[in-house]
Structure 1
Amino acid sequence: MPRRSYDQYCAAARALDAVGDRWTLLIVRELLAGPRRYTDLHADLPGVSTDMLATRLKDMERDGLATRRRLPAPASAYVYELTARGRRLLPVLQALGEWGAAELGERRPTDAVRAHWLALPVLRELAGLGETGVVEVRLDEGEFHVRVGGEGGYGEGPWTGGDPDARLTFDAETGDEIARAEVGLTEAVAQGRIEVTGDGPLAKALRQRGPGA
């Protein structure tokens, strides 16, 4: 099926030709956390049908946003991952998240939650500290890690490349308030609501804003 187009000579319209369909940017959000199997994507995108997910992934391959490859044995499973062009959508998602934070309100009973969905505001605020490194985040819903500096990025689960520069631990209530932009990450550290451990520059920068700093 040929790609639908707004047929407008405008960069925003061209971008929406590629990522404006329902679910596409949320698939990008998931793949920014690293290569994912189809079944994992489906599990972390509650509400998407299998047909819709398959269609959107094919569209993203066609448009140069994602690729599909087979893992070596013994896994031998197929995974989807973003191309360099797809990864450049990270600041787009961060801006959308910042703009939409006020729309969150309190959690609804039907709202799905995944720990790594909080990576976007956490990464944005950590980048403002002027330091680089890896930060591991632990909260009630699970763990994720963010890479600060360079292209930046995030991943689901704990960091596996050695000791992170900092570890942050906080509860679901604090996480929700950060997601809604009601409290900043450094503000929550200063209030003693976030435990910071580690010896890296990012940990030190965060502790400088902690209780008694």
Structure 2
Amino acid sequence: MSPRRSYDQYCSAARALDVVGDRWTLLIVRELLAGPRRYTDLHADLPGVSTDVLASRLKDMEREGVTTRRRLPPPGAAYVYELTGRGRELLPVLQALGQWGQTELGERRPTDAVRAHWFALPLLRSLEVEGLVEVRLEEGDFHLYVGAEQGPVYGDGPAPREPDARLAMDTDTCLLVGRGELSVPDAVRAGRIEVTGDGAPAKALREA
């Protein structure tokens, strides 16, 4: 195994970039914040990454203690990758980076890939309720574990159980909320977010 490349600078930011500064590494973290993922699932949701680069990054991340790999029990019997506690500590880093990069989005380019769950982290930062929240966009559904301290913070597709609230909105509204230009309560009052569900979070959002 080749030695880790380093900036050789006695600076915490430089040391952090030694670990997660390579291309694709933080996007792999973004995907693994949804919980354990198989290699094939990661590759499918990281359009543009080569199989060699993905395998190399995963090995580096495991070596650095950011991820771990384990084998699922039968009948699954497949290997999955997941974040360690140290890896999960990158959530606020990714959220801050995403917030900083919101102004770079602009109009979607014809070559831009998109997955519904890529909107999860900006929206997660904007919700002030706690519980399981399902979100419906034109691009698809995802769900958020708002306030979760352990386990995944979001997931692709519909919620695995009855959510505490369901939010339906268009992509423009989701982008505005993620950028902090529109609050969730204001979007609900303006009719830009439809809230359904009987849980406390749904009631709180409707009454805000």
Query: With structure 1 as the length reference, what TM-score do the two structures score?
Result: 0.90
Residue of structure 1 in register with 2:186 after alignment: 187
Separation (CA, whole Å) in 2 of partners of 1:149 and 1:40: 25
Q: Quick one: distance in 2 between partners of 1:51 and 1:117?
A: 23
Q: Which residue of 2 aligns with 1:136?
A: 134
CA distance in 1 between counterparts of 2:12 and 2:30 reads 21
Q: Give the share of equivalent positions with the same residue, in percent.
A: 73
Aligned pair 1:64/2:65, yes or no? yes
Name the counterpart of 2:55: 54
Identify the residue that residue 24 of structure 2 maps to in structure 1.
Answer: 23
Alignment correspondent of 2:104: 103
Distance 1:194 1:164, change over 3 A: same
Question: Is the 8 Å Cα contact of residues 104 and 180 (structure 1) preserved in structure 2?
Answer: no
1:1-213 to 2 correspondence within 5 Å? Answer: 1-126=2-127, 129=128, 131-151=129-149, 153-160=153-160, 162-209=161-208
Question: Alpha-carbon deviation of 1:94?
Answer: 0.4
C-alpha separation in 2, matches of 1:205 and 1:190: 12
Distance in 2, Cα, partners of 1:139 & 1:29: 19
Offset at residue 179 of structure 1 (A):
4.4
The one-letter amino acid of 1:164's match is P
Deviations 1:79-132 (A, max 9, x none): 111111101111100000111101100111111111111111111011xx2x32
Distance 1:108 1:181, change over 3 A: farther
Is the 8 Å Cα contact of residues 169 and 193 (structure 2) preserved in structure 1?
A: yes
Contact in 2 for aligned 1:101/1:181 (Cα 8 Å): no
Offset, 1:190: 1.9
Tell me if the contact between 2:126 and 2:180 (Cα under 8 Å) persists in the aligned partners: no
1:185 counterpart letter in structure 2: V
Root-mean-square deviation over aligned CA pairs: 1.6
In structure 1, distance between residues paired with 2:120 and 2:183: 13
**Aligned-pair CA distance for 1:44:** 0.6
The alignment's TM-score, normalised by the length of structure 2, stands at 0.92
Give CA-to-partner distance per residue, 1:140-197, whole Å, 9 cap, x none: 111111112242711122221x321111012233334444554333332221011101
Q: How many residues align?
A: 205
Which letter does structure 1 place at the counterpart of 2:83? Answer: L
- Offset at residue 133 of structure 1 (A): 1.1
Equivalent residues of 1:170, 1:194 under 8 A apart:
yes
**5+ unaligned residues in a row in structure 2: which ranges?**
none
Q: Distance in 1 between matches of 2:62 and 2:205?
A: 40
Q: 1 CA distance for matches of 2:125 and 2:179?
A: 14
1:151 is aligned with what amino acid? E
